[in-house]
Amino acid sequence: MDQLKELSLLVQHGENVQAVSCAEKLLAQSCPMEDIVKALSDGLEVLRNKCTIENFQLLDVLLATRAMVEVVDECLARKLQNELDNLATTHEATQSAEPTRTLVIGTIQGDIHDLGKHIVATLCRFKNLRVINLGKDVSVEQFVDTAIAENADFIGVSSLMTVCLSRISEIKNELARRGRNEITVVAGGGAAQQSSPDRLNVDYVAHDAFDGLDYFLSDILPVKS
């Protein structure tokens, strides 16, 4: 069977583990991401008739959606992140100026969404910020420990899940407890954007990646000599 067709069927049947494995094989064979995305879409399209009033089968739809999301998160997002890292590393190698500000960035504990935060990190690296990317599912203690150890100017914390927002509000409290109130905390991501700085106990909520970048580059703090 054609592997793209196989991927579509695996998504359609909600076989998330096998779908991720199939997508990884396709990427290893240099299959274009556009073709993989189309196969994922085709797998969900078949379930259209299960979303009608006459024939509503929620479990099938949820399982298929989970399979598609896992392929995107585990395969496509990782490939994009690797490509972004390669571009940023190449760019950094051509820069002569030393980075003037340091950003510690990550997705808060309990949230495993990573791509949006990674795009922000890459944009910042292109603008000559020193970036320590902690990845996803990062605890408050890890954010604060790293920021202090790296003498960071900013902590950038992301979340797409509302249930994780309470953890974001703990970061500034932990910084204050350790006497490091000067470190600025910026929140972002779909869930954080629905809240406010006061509710999240942060200094700023970025509306998108470029808004966050502008804030990190603004004159809210002195440039280190």
The predicted pLDDT at position 6 comes to 93
Asked if residue 156 lies in contact with residue 103, where contact means CB atoms within 8 angstroms, the answer is yes
105, 129: one domain: yes
Same domain, 106 and 203: yes
- Claim: this prediction has a pTM higher than 0.85: no
Residue 212: give the domain boundaries.
98-217
- Please, what sign has the CA dihedral across residues 136, 140, 145, 148? positive
CA–CA distances in Å: residue 66 to residues 17, 35, 51, 75, 220: 10, 19, 16, 14, 42
**Same domain, yes or no, for 77 and 130?**
no
150-190 tens-digit pLDDT: 999 999 999 988 889 999 999 999 999 999 999 999 999 88
CATH of residue 41? 1.10.1240.10
Q: Two tokens at 26?
A: 């396709």
pLDDT digits (tens, 9 = 90+) for 38-50: 888 788 776 666 5
Spatial distance between the Cα atoms of 154 and 114, rounded to a whole number of angstroms:
18
**For residues 69 and 201, which has the higher predicted lDDT (pLDDT)?**
201
State residue 183's pLDDT score: 96
Task: Look up the CATH number of the domain holding residue 104.
Answer: 3.40.50.280
